C-alpha cells in the first residue's frame, strides 16, 4: 500500500483547463480537496461575520434576474470565481436560521459537531443501503436507532431506520400499517376455494384517524398509498389543540359499524402550528382495545427524549407501534436527519424487497443490509451528524438547549397575554406561539380587515429583512406565528420583533385611517 508523504509541500493543481479527473476526491487530489473545502468553509465564516439580520429582503424578481443570466454550459474554470458567484447568489441572500430574529418555521440553528459530521459523510459518500457500501456506517446507524428506541421506551424488540424527513417517516409508518392490515385481511379469508384477496379490494375500506391539527403529510401519505384523501378521518381537538380521545373512540366505533377497517391512528407529539401534544396514553388505550396500529408523529416533539425537565410530556409514547422523529428540528442537526422507529422490528418486513444484485434473500440473515428496512435505496449516512453531536456534547446538552426555547416560549406567551394589542390562541407546550395583532384602535375593523392587516405585517417584515416570522390560519382567520428553536434568542429579541409588528401594523393602518377621516 502506498503511504502518502506527509512532509510533502502543499500544491494545488491548476484549475483553469485542468482535466476533469483533477477534481475527483481521491488520494492524488487530497491537497486540492482540503484547500477547496477550507475556502468554502471560510466563505461561510466571512458571511457570518458580516450578516446582521436573517434576510436581505431581496425579491424573487430581483434575484431571479441575476440567476437567469448564468450560463451553466460555460464553466468559470476557477474555483475562486465559482465560490464568489455562490456568495453573490446564495450566501449573501440566504435566510439564516441561526439569527436571533428568525422565528418562522421549524428550522433550527445547527451545532458545530454535526457540521463536522456533514463534511465527513459528504466526502466519503457512503450509501446506506447495503453493508458492502457502508460497513461501519451501518453499525453506527443501527446503534443510534437502538439509542433512540431506548429513550422512547419502546423495548428490546424495537428497530428502525433513518429517513430524509418527517413526511417520509410518516409515509413509511403508514405503509407498514397498510400492509399489516392487508396481511390480516388475507389471514381472515375463509373458504379455501375463494380467489385470493387483492390489495385494491381492501384499500377502499381502510381508514386513518388523526387530529384536525395534525401534519398534512398524513393526508398525502394516504393518497400516495392508494387510500385517497377521504380515508383520513379528522378528529376534533380540544381548546389546547389536542386530539379529543372521546371523539376518537366514537369515530372508530362508527367505522366498525359501517364495516370499514381502522387501519391506524396517528397521534401528534408537537403539532406544527401549536406544538400541542395529544393525550398519548389515552389514545394508546383506545388503539389497544381495537387492535389498531398507533403511530406517533413526534417529528417536532421527539427531541423531548433528551430533556431532563420536560420528557414527561411524551408519557404514553412507549406504547406506540411506530414513531417519527426529526433530528433536524429539536436535536439541532442539519437537514436532513429523521427516523422512523417501530416497537416490533419484525414489522419492518412489511417494506422489505429483495433484489439479486443488492440484497438477495440468501444473504439477508447474515449481512446487515439497511435497505431491508427502508423504502429508500441510496441513502446518505446522515446518522453520522447525530453521532458526532452525542459523542461531543452529549444528550443532556441537547435537552438543555431545547428546555431553553420551551422556557422562552412561556415568557413570550406571558408578554402577549398582557399586551392589549395582541390576541394569542393557546398557551405553548413546546416552543410555538400563534397570535395576531389587534390594535385597540382597530375595534372597528372587520375580521377580513384584520386578516389583511396580519398578512400584510408578515409580508412587510420579511421584505425588510429585519426579522422572519410565520403565519397560519385558525378557524379560517389569519394569524402570525413564532416558532422558537434558537437557544441564543432572548426575550428582548422577541420584544423587538413585537415592536416591528406594531410599527408595520401602524403603517398599514394609516392609509385606512386617512380614508376614514376624509
Same domain, residue pair 206 and 292? yes
CA atoms within 13 A of residue 108's CA, in its CB half-sphere? 26
Does a structural domain hold residue 278?
A: yes
Write down the H helix ranges in 212-337: 217-224, 245-257, 280-290, 327-330
Helix axes 217-224, 166-187, angle to 10 degrees: 50
Does a structural domain hold residue 103?
A: no
Same domain, residue pair 263 and 370? yes
**CA 323 from centroid of its chain's CA atoms:** 13
Same domain, residue pair 299 and 336? yes
Residue with cell 493543481: 13
**CA 165 from centroid of its chain's CA atoms:** 5
Predicted confidence at residue 188, as pLDDT, reads 77
C-beta separation of 154 from 318 below 8 A = yes
CATH no. for residue 41?
Answer: 1.20.1650.10
Specify the DSSP element, H or E, that contains 116.
helix 112-124
Coil, strand or helix: which one is 17?
A: coil
- Which among 321, 346, 381 is the end of a domain? 381
C-beta separation of 432 from 275 below 8 A = yes
Strands 159-163 and 338-342: antiparallel
Same domain, residue pair 229 and 363? yes
CATH no. for residue 260?
Answer: 3.40.640.10
The grid cell for 87 is 456568495
Same domain, residue pair 297 and 332? yes
Same domain, residue pair 186 and 43? no
Q: Count of residues for the chain?
A: 518
Does a structural domain hold residue 230?
A: yes
C-beta separation of 425 from 274 below 8 A = yes
Same domain, residue pair 171 and 90? no
Does a structural domain hold residue 390?
A: no
Predicted confidence at residue 360, as pLDDT, reads 87
C-beta separation of 279 from 314 below 8 A = no
Does a structural domain hold residue 14?
A: no
Residue with cell 376614514: 516
DSSP 399-454: HHHHHHHHHHHHHHHHHHHH-TTEEE-S--SSSEEEEEE--GGGTT--HHHHHHHH
Does a structural domain hold residue 139?
A: yes
Q: How far is CA 240 from CA 268, 274, 403, in A?
A: 13, 8, 20
In terms of residue numbers, what domain contains 305? 127-381
Predicted confidence at residue 217, as pLDDT, reads 97
Strands 293-298 and 322-326: parallel
The grid cell for 187 is 389471514
Name the nearest CA neighbour of 416 among 395, 441, 391, 436. Answer: 436
- Which among 381, 407, 423 is the end of a domain? 381
Predicted confidence at residue 363, as pLDDT, reads 65
Predicted confidence at residue 225, as pLDDT, reads 96
- Which among 381, 414, 437 is the end of a domain? 381
Same domain, residue pair 367 and 239? yes
Predicted confidence at residue 15, as pLDDT, reads 45
Predicted confidence at residue 323, as pLDDT, reads 98
Strands 261-268 and 322-326: unpaired
Q: How far is CA 297 from CA 90, 336, 340, 404, in A?
A: 33, 17, 9, 23
Total domains in the fold of the chain: 3
Please tell me whether the overall predicted TM-score, pTM, comes out greater than 0.85 for this model: yes
The grid cell for 361 is 434473500
Predicted confidence at residue 11, as pLDDT, reads 46
The segments of the chain whose pLDDT lies below 50 read 1-11, 13-17, 515-518
φ/ψ region of 488 (left if φ > 0, alpha if ψ in -120 to 50, else beta) reads alpha
Same domain, residue pair 252 and 361? yes
User: How many angstroms separate the CA atoms of 261 and 462, rounded?
Assistant: 46
User: How many angstroms separate the CA atoms of 270 and 140, rounded?
Assistant: 28
User: How many angstroms separate the CA atoms of 353 and 457, rounded?
Assistant: 51
User: How many angstroms separate the CA atoms of 486 and 59, rounded?
Assistant: 26
**CA 83 from centroid of its chain's CA atoms:** 29
User: How many angstroms separate the CA atoms of 18 and 3, rounded?
Assistant: 25
For residue 469, list its beta bridge partners: 103
Predicted confidence at residue 4, as pLDDT, reads 44
**pLDDT tens digit string along 333-391?**
999 999 999 999 999 999 988 888 888 887 666 789 999 999 999 999 999 999 999 99
User: How many angstroms separate the CA atoms of 95 and 277, rounded?
Assistant: 29
Q: CB neighbours of 331 closer than 8 A, spacing ≥ 6?
A: 108, 302, 303, 306, 337, 386, 389, 398
C-beta separation of 470 from 422 below 8 A = no
Same domain, residue pair 433 and 367? no
Same domain, residue pair 313 and 362? yes
Specify the DSSP element, H or E, that contains 295.
strand 293-298
The grid cell for 378 is 441510496
Same domain, residue pair 309 and 447? no
Does a structural domain hold residue 445?
A: yes
Does a structural domain hold residue 249?
A: yes
Amino acid at each position: 500500500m502506498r503511504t502518502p508523504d506527509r512532509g510533502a509541500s502543499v500544491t494545488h493543481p491548476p484549475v483553469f483547463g485542468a482535466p476533469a479527473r483533477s477534481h475527483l476526491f481521491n488520494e492524488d487530489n487530497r491537497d486540492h480537496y482540503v484547500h477547496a473545502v477550507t475556502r468554502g468553509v471560510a466563505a461561510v465564516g466571512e458571511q457570518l461575520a458580516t450578516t446582521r439580520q436573517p434576510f436581505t429582503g431581496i425579491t424573487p424578481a430581483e434575484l431571479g434576474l441575476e440567476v437567469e443570466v448564468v450560463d451553466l454550459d460555460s464553466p468559470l474554470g476557477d474555483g475562486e470565481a465559482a465560490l464568489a458567484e455562490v456568495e453573490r447568489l446564495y450566501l449573501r441572500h440566504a435566510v439564516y436560521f441561526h439569527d436571533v430574529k428568525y422565528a418562522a418555521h421549524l428550522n433550527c440553528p445547527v451545532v458545530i459537531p454535526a457540521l463536522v459530521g456533514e463534511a465527513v459523510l459528504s466526502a466519503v459518500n457512503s450509501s446506506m443501503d447495503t453493508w458492502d457500501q457502508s460497513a461501519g456506517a451501518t453499525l453506527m446507524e443501527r446503534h443510534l436507532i437502538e439509542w433512540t428506541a431506548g429513550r422512547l421506551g419502546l423495548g428490546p424488540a424495537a428497530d428502525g431506520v433513518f429517513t430524509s424527513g418527517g413526511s417520509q417517516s410518516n409515509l413509511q409508518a403508514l405503509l407498514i400499517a397498510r400492509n399489516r392490515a392487508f396481511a390480516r385481511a388475507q389471514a381472515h379469508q375463509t373458504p379455501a376455494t375463494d380467489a385470493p384477496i387483492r390489495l385494491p379490494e381492501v384499500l377502499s375500506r381502510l381508514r386513518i384517524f388523526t387530529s384536525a391539527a395534525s401534519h398534512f403529510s398524513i393526508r398525502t401519505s394516504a393518497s400516495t398509498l392508494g387510500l385517497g384523501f377521504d380515508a383520513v378521518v379528522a378528529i376534533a381537538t380540544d381548546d389546547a389543540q389536542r386530539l379529543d380521545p372521546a371523539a376518537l373512540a366514537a369515530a372508530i366505533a362508527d367505522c366498525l359499524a359501517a364495516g370499514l377497517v381502522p387501519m391506524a391512528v396517528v397521534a401528534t407529539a408537537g403539532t406544527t402550528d401549536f406544538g400541542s401534544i395529544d393525550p398519548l396514553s389515552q389514545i394508546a388505550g383506545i388503539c389497544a382495545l381495537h387492535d389498531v396500529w398507533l403511530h406517533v408523529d413526534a417529528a417536532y416533539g421527539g427531541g423531548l427524549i433528551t430533556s431532563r425537565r420536560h420528557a414527561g410530556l411524551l408519557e404514553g409514547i412507549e406504547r406506540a407501534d411506530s414513531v417519527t422523529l426529526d433530528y433536524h428540528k429539536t436535536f439541532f442537526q442539519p437537514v436532513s436527519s429523521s427516523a422512523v422507529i417501530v416497537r416490533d422490528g419484525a414489522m419492518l418486513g412489511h417494506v422489505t424487497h429483495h433484489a439479486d444484485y443488492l440484497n438477495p434473500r440468501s444473504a439477508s440473515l447474515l449481512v446487515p443490509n439497511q435497505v431491508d428496512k427502508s423504502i429508500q435505496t441510496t441513502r446518505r449516512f446522515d446518522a453520522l451528524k447525530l453521532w458526532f453531536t452525542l459523542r461531543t456534547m452529549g444528550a443532556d446538552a441537547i435537552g438543555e438547549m431545547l428546555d431553553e426555547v420551551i422556557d422562552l416560549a412561556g415568557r413570550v406567551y406571558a408578554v402577549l397575554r398582557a399586551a392589549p394589542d395582541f390576541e394569542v390562541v393557546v398557551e405553548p407546550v413546546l416552543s410555538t406561539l400563534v397570535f395576531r395583532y389587534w390594535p385597540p384602535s382597530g375595534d372597528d375593523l372587520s375580521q377580513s380587515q384584520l386578516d389583511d392587516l396580519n398578512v400584510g405585517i408578515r409580508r412587510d417584515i420579511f421584505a425588510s429583512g429585519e426579522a422572519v416570522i410565520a403565519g397560519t390560519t385558525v378557524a379560517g382567520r389569519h394569524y402570525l406565528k413564532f416558532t422558537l428553536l434558537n437557544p441564543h434568542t432572548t426575550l428582548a429579541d422577541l420584544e423587538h420583533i413585537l415592536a416591528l409588528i406594531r410599527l408595520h401594523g401602524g403603517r398599514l393602518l394609516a392609509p385606512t385611517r386617512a380614508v376614514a377621516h376624509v
